[in-house]
Amino acid sequence: MPKRRRAALLPSNIALLQNLIRRDPGSYKEEFLVQYRHYATQKEILATNPGGFHDTEAFLDQIGFIAQVCTCYPNETKEYPEDLADLLRKHHTVLPVELREKIVQSLVLLRNRGSITSERLIQIIFPLLTTTNSKTFRKDIYATLVRLLKHANRNTKAPKLNRTVQTLLFTLLESSDGAAAAPDGLWAAKLTRELWRRSIWDDPRTVEIMKQAALHGNTKVAIAGVSFFLGVDREREKAERKKRGLVDEDNSSYASSDDDEGDKPQVAGIKHRIGVNKKTGKRARKLEAAMRAMKKKGKGAALPTQLNFSAIHLLHDPQGFAERLFGQTLSRGSGNKFTLDQRIQVLNLVSRLIGVHKLSVLGVYSYLLKYLTPKQRNVTQFMAATAQASHDLVPPDVLSPVIRKIADEFVSDGVSAEVAAAGLNTIREILTRNPLAIEADLLQDLTAYKGSKSKSVMMAARSLIGLYREVAPEMLSRKDRGKIASMEMSATAAAGQAKKLQYGVENIVVGIPGLELLEQWRKEQGLDKDDEEDAATKEAEDDDDAWNIDISDSEASEGGWIDVESDIEYNVSDDEAGIQEHHADSEDDDDDSDNEENAEEKQPEAKRVKTEGAVQTLMATKILTPADFQKLEELRTKAGLDKILHGGKAAATTQHEDTVDATSLLGPKTGKANKMERMAAVMEGREDRQFGPKKSKKDNQPHSTTNKEKARKKNFIMMIHKRDVQGKNKKSLRDKQKVLRAHIEKQKKSKGKR
Amino acid sequence: MDLLLDLKIPSLTEPEALAYLQAHLPEEVDSSLFTSISPLILDPTSTVRSAVLSLVRAIPSSSLAPHVHLISLYIHSGMTHLAPDIRADSSKFLLFVLKAEDADIPMQLVSRSWEKTLHCFGSLLGWDLASPPPPGSSIPAGSGNWNKVGNATSIDRIAKAAGHLDALSLFLRLGLSENLTPEMQAQRKVPVYHADTYKHLIPRNATTPYARLGLFVEGKGRRWTAVSSTEDIGARYQLLKSMLPGILAGLDSGRRQGGEIGRKCKHLIDFLDKVNSETEKLQ
């Protein structure tokens, strides 16, 4: 019986009807159609006067109701989504705010129910982003779009949808390429940036959009595009780190996170100091400890990371981009649309592009010449850009005027120590990337500053010396070359193959770097014979051991590998092998040019051939197991560490990709900090700290119910006979009055506090 | 209009305010009055609705004529409203429009929103107009739906149903019978090249003769819009034809109930039969 009665139930409000329809769509079709017709009429009334609609509330309910149940009647409500879209498109400027929001909500709901596709939804709401003049609505739509794309790309990427949106953004940028239509393009840039930051989009097409934005005619859009390339990858990393931190329970205190960040500079600092200062056992031990600490940390942080390419790396046709960017925004013809800060930003990007992709945009260097004077505002930024824009494929004769100019303007007796240090540091940064850009006599002039009274200048000059000891000691004066470099030089001179820096010669890595170390080690251990002799029998067992490295084993070995001072001789010879390996190509070139010399001195050549041959045989005859690689890495680290300790053979293979920090060019800060700096440091310390009462913080933490809460929620009947409650009733009038008065007083006080 | 400025919209929902408006009604009524009072057709309180009805009755029909479309939209909205008493009152407004002195007013409604109004009647009386019952069944599907008209006492219900039936019958009569004015008849006589020429002339009393072309109607979905091409009787009859079984079934079940409703239903059935036979004769 009850079922029949429910069937006879007449819905008196729309929520009830919705519920009934959900249970039994077939029976309530009639009622639904009436409501649908009612909605149609309401819509027409709305169309007559969209601004002053009489009963928004009811219409909102109606729209929500139909959106909820329209999956039950797909045939009847075929036109419903389009109706809503129409309504929104035509009247969004005058519709009441709630109604507008509700329509967007309903459309999203319809998409979730599968009535419309995501593409269609985006086609409906995307144009509103730029046409509406309401800030809140725009924000809403923006949030909806981001949410939608995030949702669509959650498990697997949705290439079709992404492409649709990207095309929309492209056209938006293209169509708004005029000074008047700034905000449109800005929204495209903003949306793209947000999606990139959240790693929802990470493909080259996205980067192309931002490239388009960076080349946009409007200043704001262009700067948005430029700052995307400069900053967004760091942002993305930060966001990811945050997300990961949230996932695996953030129980690390502030102290540990500080440690985390302070670690890398620590190692770098120690390395730098060892490179510059006198080598002592104490310093070496310090480095050792720092390295060990870093390695430990690195092991902990070795979580599965997504393979993320930075935006700059994903660029298609970087040369064209850099040229156009430079031509449009910086070169003389472009006019002064940009402020100095903006120009610096663009310059920063252009120089990054040049550095990362090794482009040749020769106009940049002459452009920079103009700005490289000590009086120029923000000159360090220009200097950093100069350093970033140099790489080994820039013709030295283009770069040398720049260096000459820096040397003339910054490094002379008339200028202050700071300026000189900055100049020297900049020159060093440029020369690490392109050592050929300076003549020997200028270099020697600059290195003469090693005797400066100012510490920062002295250190900068010494670092320059350190650099050239490594790359081209023959350019330094005899005194400056140092022991190892001179020894090396004399050795190579004796061998008759004085290596010379050459433009356009690149270090090409052949084979596995450091394989000869492994070979040598194996020989010493006598493993090779073993292998050859009973390869057939032993291999299976050996291999099993070798493929599965025991973690504890590796830990144990890690502790013991640094044995720095004991085998110096051995390592020196290693060094030479490394050099030979590295400069194999250049040597080959040399060989071609001076054949006669080779004929006379065949021994080193023969030796080299031998080592190479050994490597070749090892590569050809043996499959390297993970254990081998681990050993190789060990040996390499050992050798590498020795290099650092002995004057630094830090190969500058990826240096051209590094950013140059403008503040680092100034050298270490000496003397007392001024007030502003001190305040800045204080503020920085305060950044993440929370002030205020500790109690409220404690209360807000998740916890189980307190006794107080339990007492408050306890059933009244259980409490009614307790003395606590009964006592209140039995109190004398005077006592009651007292309590009440005290309560009032307390309330007043607490109010006064607020 | 200073009267409206004095009375803000919220205060307009007071019946007294409406009565005041009615008492001080000026000669010429402009559109702002209509835009503010027509939503009150859907007002939840019955006193307000009746006050609006009496106010509208007081307005001279000459100034009413341009706003029939707006009012009829609200009447349609009332006919499909979820609240039963608003639904019940809607036919009063409809009757008022249909009985207006100026013949143009009801004809606007009949010619412009014929289909929609019929659909609304369907939902008002609980008849299933979309899917006619199978021809063999003696008891129509909508027989029980008379109850749906309202959940009040039976007398009240009968009164409401009677009101709806009155409105329906008047609506159908207006739409389906040619009550030509003498002037029009004279016009038809003038130069007749062909017997059917008048069918192809632009009707003189049509306010929007080209509405059926949908020139100024936006959007694709024109299924339930008020405007449909029902300018002449033939088109209207064609539209009615698909709904006729449902209507007849509903009327038939009403006739069986007897009493006042039964009588009204019978009259209407007779009228529809007559129309049916006449049209068939013509074809």
**Residue A79 to residue B226, Cβ atoms within 8 A:** no
Mean pLDDT of chain A, nearest integer: 77
Size of interface A-B (CB pairs under 8 A): 67
Q: How many domains does chain A have?
A: 4
Residue in chain A lying closest to B130 (CA) = A30
Task: Nearest by CB to B74, from A12, A35, A45: name it.
Answer: A45
Contacts with B, A 509-548, CB within 8 Å: none
User: Is residue A564's pLDDT more than 80?
Assistant: no
* Domain presence at residue A257: no
pLDDT of residue A579: 43
Mark whether A341 and A478 lie in a shared domain.
yes
* Domain presence at residue A686: no
Task: Tell me the mean pLDDT in the region A711-738.
Answer: 86
**Residue B39 to residue A86, Cβ atoms within 8 A:** no
Mark whether A84 and A108 lie in a shared domain.
yes
Query: Of A644, A607, A616, which is closest to residue A516 (Cα–Cα)?
Result: A616
Mark whether A587 and A438 lie in a shared domain.
no
Mark whether A536 and A485 lie in a shared domain.
no
- Final residue of a domain: which of A91, A116, A141? A116
User: Is residue B52's pLDDT more than 90?
Assistant: no
Task: Give pTM, 2 decimals.
Answer: 0.65
**Residue A306: alpha-carbon gap to chain centroid:** 12
* Domain presence at residue A580: yes
Residue A223 near residue A213 (C-beta atoms within 8 A): no
* Alpha-carbon span A74 to A79, nearest angstrom: 9
Percent of chain B with pLDDT strictly greater than 70: 65
Q: For tokens 């046709």, name the residue.
A: A317
The band of B204, judged by pLDDT with boundaries at 50, 70 and 90, is low
User: Is residue B74's pLDDT more than 80?
Assistant: yes
B35 interaction partners in chain A (CB closer than 8 Å):
49, 52
Write the pLDDT tens digit of every residue in A174-222: 887 765 556 678 888 889 989 888 888 888 899 999 998 888 888 888 8
Q: Which amino acid is at B271?
A: F
Task: Nearest by CB to B224, from A40, A48, A82: name it.
Answer: A40
Mark whether A411 and A435 lie in a shared domain.
yes
Which of A41-50, A457-466, A505-514 has the largest mean confidence?
A457-466
* Distance from the A75 Cα atom to the nearest Cα atom in chain B, whole angstroms: 13
The band of A526, judged by pLDDT with boundaries at 50, 70 and 90, is confident
* Distance from the B55 Cα atom to the nearest Cα atom in chain A, whole angstroms: 19
Chain A contact for B151 (CB, 8 A cutoff): yes
Write the pLDDT tens digit of every residue in A346-402: 999 999 999 999 999 999 999 999 899 989 989 999 999 999 999 888 999 999 999
* Domain presence at residue A7: no
> What is the crossing angle of helices B46-58 and B15-23, to 10°?
10
* Domain presence at residue A375: yes
pLDDT of residue B152: 42
Chain A contact for B224 (CB, 8 A cutoff): yes
Percent of chain A with pLDDT strictly greater than 90: 18
What residues have CB less than 8 Å from A643, skipping those under 6 apart?
A: A575, A578, A649, A650
Q: Of B80, B129, B149, which to mutate for an interface test with A (greatest number of A Cβ within 10 Å)?
A: B80
pLDDT of residue A12: 67
B221 interaction partners in chain A (CB closer than 8 Å):
79, 82-83
User: Is residue B91's pLDDT more than 60?
Assistant: yes
Tokens standing for residue B21:
């408006």
- Final residue of a domain: which of A116, A147, A177? A116
* Distance from the A173 Cα atom to the nearest Cα atom in chain B, whole angstroms: 29
Chain A contact for B76 (CB, 8 A cutoff): yes
* Alpha-carbon span A200 to A623, nearest angstrom: 40
Chain A contact for B31 (CB, 8 A cutoff): no
* Domain presence at residue A226: no
Residue in chain B lying closest to A47 (CA) = B218
Write the pLDDT tens digit of every residue in A454-486: 888 999 999 999 989 888 888 888 888 888 888
User: Is residue A650's pLDDT more than 80?
Assistant: no
- Cα dist from A258 to A252, A265, A301, A661, A688, whole Å: 10, 12, 15, 21, 12
Contacts with B, A 29-68, CB within 8 Å: 30, 33-35, 37-38, 40-42, 44-45, 47-49, 52, 54-55
Percent of chain A with pLDDT strictly greater than 70: 75
Q: Half-sphere exposure of residue A665, counting CA atoms within 13 Å on the CB side?
A: 27
Task: Nearest by CB to A37, from B80, B151, B221: name it.
Answer: B80
Mark whether A426 and A382 lie in a shared domain.
yes
Tokens standing for residue A459:
């250190």
The band of A747, judged by pLDDT with boundaries at 50, 70 and 90, is very high
Q: Of B117, B224, B243, which to mutate for an interface test with A (greatest number of A Cβ within 10 Å)?
A: B224
Q: Which residue has the higher pLDDT, A557 or B117?
A: B117
Lowest mean pLDDT among A285-294, A346-355, A500-509, B223-232: B223-232
**Residue A30 to residue B225, Cβ atoms within 8 A:** no
**Residue A48 to residue B73, Cβ atoms within 8 A:** yes
Contacts with A, B 173-212, CB within 8 Å: none
Task: Nearest by CB to A55, from B35, B39, B218: name it.
Answer: B39
* Distance from the A144 Cα atom to the nearest Cα atom in chain B, whole angstroms: 26
User: Is residue A533's pLDDT more than 90?
Assistant: no
**Residue B73 to residue A44, Cβ atoms within 8 A:** yes
Lowest mean pLDDT among A373-382, A653-662, B221-230: B221-230
Contacts by residues B145-154 (CB-CB < 8 Å, ≥ 24 positions apart): B145/B250, B146/B253, B146/B254, B146/B257, B148/A10, B149/B84, B149/B88, B149/B124, B149/B125, B150/B84, B150/B85, B150/B87, B150/B88, B151/A10, B151/B84, B152/B84
Task: Nearest by CB to A37, from B70, B120, B221: name it.
Answer: B120
Chain B contact for A89 (CB, 8 A cutoff): no
Mark whether A472 and A547 lie in a shared domain.
no
**Residue A10 to residue B77, Cβ atoms within 8 A:** no
Mark whether A557 and A607 lie in a shared domain.
yes
**Residue A55 to residue B42, Cβ atoms within 8 A:** yes
* Distance from the A37 Cα atom to the nearest Cα atom in chain B, whole angstroms: 7
Query: Of A512, A461, A500, A473, which is closest to residue A615 (Cα–Cα)?
Result: A512
Q: Which residue has the higher pLDDT, A708 or A575?
A: A708
Task: Nearest by CB to A34, from B35, B80, B226: name it.
Answer: B80
Mark whether A483 and A536 lie in a shared domain.
no
* Alpha-carbon span A165 to A145, nearest angstrom: 10
* Domain presence at residue A455: yes
* Domain presence at residue A588: yes
Q: Half-sphere exposure of residue A616, counting CA atoms within 13 Å on the CB side?
A: 6
The band of B32, judged by pLDDT with boundaries at 50, 70 and 90, is confident
Task: Tell me the mean pLDDT in the region B191-208.
Answer: 62
**Residue A55 to residue B130, Cβ atoms within 8 A:** no
* Alpha-carbon span A212 to A229, nearest angstrom: 12
Q: What CATH number corresponds to the domain at position A384?
A: 1.25.10
* Distance from the A15 Cα atom to the nearest Cα atom in chain B, whole angstroms: 11
pLDDT of residue A601: 46
Residue in chain A lying closest to B78 (CA) = A38
The band of B148, judged by pLDDT with boundaries at 50, 70 and 90, is very low
Mark whether A433 and A549 lie in a shared domain.
no
User: Is residue A725's pLDDT more than 90?
Assistant: no
**Residue A86 to residue B42, Cβ atoms within 8 A:** no
Residue in chain A lying closest to B83 (CA) = A12
Task: Nearest by CB to B76, from A12, A41, A48: name it.
Answer: A41
* Alpha-carbon span A624 to A662, nearest angstrom: 44
* Alpha-carbon span A527 to A540, nearest angstrom: 16
**Residue A83 to residue B221, Cβ atoms within 8 A:** yes
Residues in chain A: 754
- Final residue of a domain: which of A66, A98, A116? A116
For residue A358, the enclosing domain spans 318-504+661-666
ipTM score: 0.77
B148 interaction partners in chain A (CB closer than 8 Å):
10
Mark whether A588 and A736 lie in a shared domain.
no
Mark whether A497 and A525 lie in a shared domain.
no
- H or E segment and range at residue A456: helix A455-471
* Distance from the B149 Cα atom to the nearest Cα atom in chain A, whole angstroms: 11
pLDDT of residue A199: 83
A47 interaction partners in chain B (CB closer than 8 Å):
218
Tokens standing for residue B24:
């001080």
pLDDT of residue A646: 40
* Alpha-carbon span A189 to A209, nearest angstrom: 8
